[in-house]
A = this chain, B = another copy of it.
Amino acid sequence: MALKKKPVTGMKDILPREMEIRDYVIQMIKDTYKTYGFMSMETPCVEHIENLCSKQGGDNEKLIFKILKRGEKLKIAEATEEADVVDGGLRYDLTVPLARYYSNHSNDLPSPFKALQIGNVWRADRPQKGRFRQFIQCDIDILGEPGNLAEIELILATTAMLGKMGFRNFTVCINDRNILKAMAAYSGFAEKDFDDVFIILDKMDKIGPEAVAEELMELGYAKENVDTYLKLFEETPEDAGGIRFLKEKLGDFLKAETADSMEMIMSSVEAAKEADFKIKFTPTMVRGQSYYTGTIFEVVMDDFGGSVAGGGRYDKMIGKFTGQDTPACGFSIGFERIVMLLLENGYEVPRKGEKKAYLMEKNMPKEGVLKVLGLAKKDREEGKQVLVANMKKNKKFQKEQLMGDGYETIIDCYADSVDKL
């Protein structure tokens, strides 16, 4: 037999204990985001290959699971390259499909549209511990809102959700692509070099300022520019004061409205937040995706050592589909990381109803079975989680297993005493 028992490379079967947490987290996400006015929506897991390979996805475009054409369209023997045999692919994120969806349905959607998407995405990444080739993403996006109310609401909703999940003392890091650019321009870098400079700046957290300066100089940038740049980061406080400092310091390089808007986002979030967290202006934060056009943000947790959520403004993507730009801003939670943290911390999903098991002796006559089913029916109507099972030879072992699965009440049912139950 050529049948394979293991799942395909890099993807995983999910056992009931993990599923219980996943189901619970998804429900909490949906309930919380609804109180912020977000609406569930969904796109197919399969997308046109043209849309997936449209340069919106950066490096993810190299990781697409591609889908073979079908029927007469497929001519394997004549094919010389991938494009000849492929017409679709599994989505690698939820943002490109959302832009397509909005461009297709904007007439039937409210404006602004507050979208909630929870769904699987696929990336043929090199398999490694804790990273899978199929994983759930969970995004909220506000489309059609040019003002910073979008950023404020996205941050409030995401942090409220994390708070409900029991997370405390985390940090929301915030920056703006236009502040990034203004700091580089002020320091004397040419616009064509920005992306290369930002790739190095992005390592600041890990390698520190000296190493960043070194790498920039290795690439041939003038010492004067590098020194000015690094000094700027040193002098900028990581709070609203930092924004005011830059507004004055960078002069015409930074639009006053960009600085004012950022300050307003920070103070509004501070004032209206539900959860226990800090918001930190983080001028060194870059975020990879090339589609961001303004504000960018991340949620960082100390006990995780990395970001558990991230997002930003991308005002130019929908225009690629419609020819007309639409303001857009989104925040994506690292669902798998959050589940991993909860699993590692031994998180217990709050129980909904008592768990109760009826074990029936072998060859229980029909009247006995009916009696037990009647009792189970009553329990179930009361919301209890009820298992009706046949008793095994090794009843002790069976009961231990049931107790391990959380069954608090286990009732032995014998033919000669079942009517007393």
Contact = CB atoms under 8 A, between A and B. Distances in A.
Given A44-B134, A320-B1, A105 B13 contact: yes
A386 B36 CA distance: 5
Interface residues of A, number: 112
A301 interface: no
Nearest to A322: B5
Contacts of A101: 13
A52 B281 CA distance: 51
A234 to B, nearest CB: 30
Contact of A268 (B12, B27, B152, B370): B370
A3 B50 contact: yes
Nearest to A1: B320
A360 B84 CA distance: 53
A313 interface: no
A327 to B, nearest CB: 12
Contact of A45 (B6, B45, B353, B377): B45
Interface of A: 1-8, 11-16, 19-20, 22-23, 27, 30-31, 34-37, 39-48, 50-51, 54, 65-68, 70, 74, 76-77, 79-82, 84-88, 90, 100-101, 103-105, 108-110, 112, 114, 120, 122, 124, 134, 145, 147, 149, 152-153, 156, 160, 264, 267-268, 271-272, 274, 320-323, 352-353, 357, 360, 366, 369-370, 373-374, 376-377, 379-381, 383-390, 401-402, 405
Copies of this chain assembled into the complex: 2
Contact of A13 (B42, B373, B376): B42
B81 A76 contact: yes
Contacts of A353: 35
Contact of A8 (B47, B81, B320): B47
Q: Which of A6, A20, A370 has the most CB of B within 10 A?
A: A370
Contacts of A80: 76-77
Nearest to A27: B27
